[in-house]
Structure 1
Amino acid sequence: MNPATAADGTLVDKKSRPDDERSTLYVVSVTKFILLYALTAGGYVFYWSYRNWASYKEVSGAPIMPVMRAVFWPFFILSLFDKVQNGLDMTGRSYFWHPETRGLLIMLLVMFAVLVSLFFNRPTDTVFVFVANVVLIASCCAMFVEAQRAINMLGGDPQGSHNSAFTCSNVVWMVVGVLYMAFVAYLVFMFEG
C-alpha cells in the first residue's frame, strides 16, 4: 500500500487511483522550454524527461526508473505522451495535439539524426551534418512544444506560469550549451575551410 492524502484529508492508495488523478507532470512555460531546449542543443530533453517521469512516479507510485527513462527518452516518449493524453481524457480537458503522431515523428527525427551522423562521416560532409542536426533539433523542439502545452493543460496551468522564471542553474546550462555549440560550430567551419 502506498497511502496519500486526498483533497478532503482522507488517505487513499495511490496505485488504485486512475491515471487522470495521478498525472501531475512537469509544468514549464513554453518560452522557458524553448530557450532551454534551443540553447542546450536539445540536451534539456533529458532533464525534461527525467522531471516528467519522476513526477509521475512520485504521484502514482509506479515502479519505474526515471533516470533510465530520461537517458533512453526516445524509447519512452510514446508512453509519456500516452500518460498525458489519458490524463487529459479522464479529466475532461480537451487539447488537440496528436500525441501518437507527435511521438512517432520525434522518434523518426532522432533516428534520422543518428543515421545522418553514421552515413555522412567524411570530412567533406561535416557542414551538411551540422546543418542537418540544427534542422532536426529545431524540428524536435516544435514537436515538444505542443506536448509541453498539453502537459501544462493537464497540470491546470496552461501558460506554465508557475515555472516560467529562470533559475541560476538554468542560466548556467544555457551558457554551457551556447559555448558548446559555438565550439562545435568553430570546429566544423575551421576544418571545412
Structure 2
Amino acid sequence: MSNVFYTPPAADLQPATNDEPEFFTVAPRKLIVMMLLTHGLYTVYWFYQNWKNYGNHSGRAIWPTARTILAFFYAPSLFCKVDRACKNFDKTGMRYWALSSAMLILLQVSPFFIGLVYGLYLRPAGAEDVPNLLWLDFMVGTAALVLQTLIISRVQGFINRVNVDPNGLANDGYTVGNVIWISIGLLIWLVIGANTYGLAKM
C-alpha cells in the first residue's frame, strides 16, 4: 500500500549545457598573420572550425566538411548565425553582416574576372601589354586577399565577444602546424611572385 504514496523523482527538464564555445576562437593578430602568410589557406581552416564548433554547440547534425568546401556559399549563413549569437549575448548584433558576406564572395571571384578580361584582352592588345596585365592580375589578387582578411577579422571580433574571450587569448600562440602552413603559404607567395616576374620579363 505504501507504493500508492510513492512519487518517483522528477525528471531533470533543464536543457543540457555545452561548455564548448559556439564558434572558433582565435586572437585577431594571429588571424591576420595566418590569413596573409598562408596566402588565404587559413580561411579554409577558419570556416571548418567555425562550422564544427557551431554543430557541436547547437547539437545540429551538420557536415562541416561540405560547408567548408562550399564556404563562400555558406558564408551568409555563418555570418547570420554570428549576428544572431551576438543579439542573444548582449542584444547588439553584427551590423552589415549581409553586406560583409556579399563582399567576401565578390572579392573571392574578382581575380577570376580579371583573368577573364585579361584572356579576352590579350589577343587584340598584343604581347607588349602582357607584363602590365600580369602585374594587374597579381595586384588584384593580393588586394582581394587583404580585404577578405579585414572582413574575416571584423567577424572574428564579434565571435570572440560571443565566446567571452575578446582578445582570443585561448588561441593566440603558434603551433607547429601553424608554422608548417605558414611555410607552405610563403612558398606559394614565392612561386606566384617569381612566375609573375618571370612571365612579365619574357
Give the Cα–Cα distance (whole angstroms) in 2 for the partners of residues 144 and 36 of structure 1.
12
Secondary structure of residue in 2 paired with 1:50: helix
Give the Cα–Cα distance (whole angstroms) in 1 for the partners of residues 163 and 41 of structure 2.
24
Unaligned 5+ residue runs, structure 1? 1-8
Give the Cα–Cα distance (whole angstroms) in 1 for the partners of residues 94 and 85 of structure 2.
13
Give the AA of the match of 1:56: Y
Aligned counterpart for 1:169 among listed residues 164, 174, 177: 177
Quote the residue 1:115 is aligned against. Answer: 113
**RMSD of aligned C-alpha atoms?**
2.3
Conserved? CA contact 2:83–2:94, under 8 Å: no
Aligned counterpart for 1:51 among listed residues 45, 49, 66: 49
Instruction: Single out whichever of 60-69 and 111-120 deviates more from structure 2.
Output: 111-120
Alignment of 1:7-156 (within 5 A): 12=15, 24-92=22-90, 94=92, 97-121=95-119, 122=122, 124=130, 125-156=133-164
TM-score (norm 2): 0.82
Give the AA of the match of 1:58: N
Give the Cα–Cα distance (whole angstroms) in 1 for the partners of residues 182 and 45 of structure 2.
13
Instruction: Single out whichever of 120-129 and 45-54 deviates more from structure 2.
Output: 120-129
Conserved? CA contact 2:23–2:53, under 8 Å: yes
Aligned-pair CA distance for 1:118 = 2.7
Query: Is the aligned partner of 1:190 residue 2:198?
Result: yes
Secondary structure of residue in 2 paired with 1:12: coil
Deviations 1:130-162 (A, max 9, x none): 111001111111111110101101111010011
Give the AA of the match of 1:12: P
Give the AA of the match of 2:73: F
Q: 1:103 to 1:23 in 2, by over 3 A?
A: farther
Secondary structure of residue in 2 paired with 1:158: coil
Secondary structure of residue in 1 paired with 2:15: strand
Unaligned 5+ residue runs, structure 2? 1-11
Secondary structure of residue in 1 paired with 2:22: coil
Conserved? CA contact 1:23–1:84, under 8 Å: no
Aligned-pair CA distance for 1:82 = 0.6
Q: Give % identity.
A: 23
Aligned-pair CA distance for 1:33 = 0.3
Query: Is the aligned partner of 1:160 residue 2:168?
Result: yes
Structure number with bigger Rg: 2
Secondary structure of residue in 1 paired with 2:116: helix
Give the AA of the match of 2:84: N
Quote the residue 2:5 is aligned against. Answer: none
Q: Give the aligned length.
A: 180
Give the Cα–Cα distance (whole angstroms) in 2 for the partners of residues 158 and 40 of structure 1.
24
Conserved? CA contact 1:40–1:178, under 8 Å: yes
Give the AA of the match of 1:75: F
Q: 1:117 to 1:13 in 2, by over 3 A?
A: farther
